[in-house]
Structure 1
C-alpha cells in the first residue's frame, strides 16, 4: 500500500506544482477543469483551475487540486488554506538540504531556519509562498 499526500489549493496548484517540479524533479501530470468531459458544468471563471495534478517522484508522489465554490474539501464553505500537516523531505546531504530550503522557502514563512539539531545534521520548518508546510530533515553529514 502507498500513502500519497493530497493538497488542496485555491487557484495556486499550477504555480505551486510547477515550482515543486523545478525543485524536486519528477514527472508532472496536470489536468484543468476545462479538460473534463463535463467542463460546461463548471463556472467559466474556474475552468482553468487545476482539477488534478500529480508529481511523480519514483516510488513517491504528491498530488493536489484547486477548490471550487462550495467544495466539499473545504467543508462546503470558504477555502481556509492547508492546515494540520507538513510535507517532510529527507535529503541525503547538507548541500541538498540547503538547496531545497532556499528554493522552497523563498517568499514563504520560516518557522525554524535550516540548522544543526541534536537529532539531525540539518533540520528546518517553513511554510512556502503557497501556504504548504514543509520540514527538511537531513540526518547525514
Structure 2
C-alpha cells in the first residue's frame, strides 16, 4: 500500500506540472488528455487538457489533472523531507516564485530547518530539513 496525493486544477495542471519540473522536483511520466486517444470529453473547453498525469522524481510521486468542477486547493500540503539545507533553500525559493511564503525558512522550535509556502497554483508546500546528524 502507498499513499499518494492527487492534485485537482481547473485548467492549469500542465502549467503547474511544468513549473514543478522547472523547480527540480521531477517530471510527468504519464499523461492522458481529454479528447486524445479515445479519452472522453464531457466539456469541449477541456479538450486537450490533462485528464490524468503521473508526476515522479527522486522520492516524489503524485498525480494531477484538470477538472472544470475542481474545488480550490485547501486543507492539504505536500511535505518534502529533506537532508540538504542548500537544496532545501533552492527548491523553496523556486516553489515560492509567484506564490506566498507563510513560514519563512528557518530553524524551528523542534530543531529542524523548515518553511511553508503556497505556490502560484494554490498548492501548499512544507519543506523540512533535519539538522540532526543521521
Q: CA deviation at 1:57?
A: 2.9
2:71 aligns with 80
Mapped partners of 2:28, 2:46: distance in 1: 25
Structure 1 or 2: larger helix share? 1
Q: Which residue of 1 aligns with 2:121?
A: 130
Moved over 3 A (4+): none
Deviations along 1:70-104, whole A, 9 cap, x unmatched? x4xxxxxxx43111100000111110110110011
Task: Give the equivalent residue in structure 2 for 1:56.
Answer: 56
User: Cα distance 1:37–1:27, how it changes in 2: closer, same or farther (>3 A)?
Assistant: closer
CA distance 1:59–1:91, change in 2 (3 Å): closer
Could you say which residue in structure 2 is the equivalent of 1:118? 109
**Matched residue, 1:28:** 29
Task: Check 1:47–1:27 CA distance in 2 against 1; reply closer, same or farther (3 A cut).
Answer: closer
Unaligned runs of 5+ in 2: none
Deviation of 1:60 after TM superposition, in Å, equals 4.2
TM-score, length of structure 1 as denominator length:
0.83
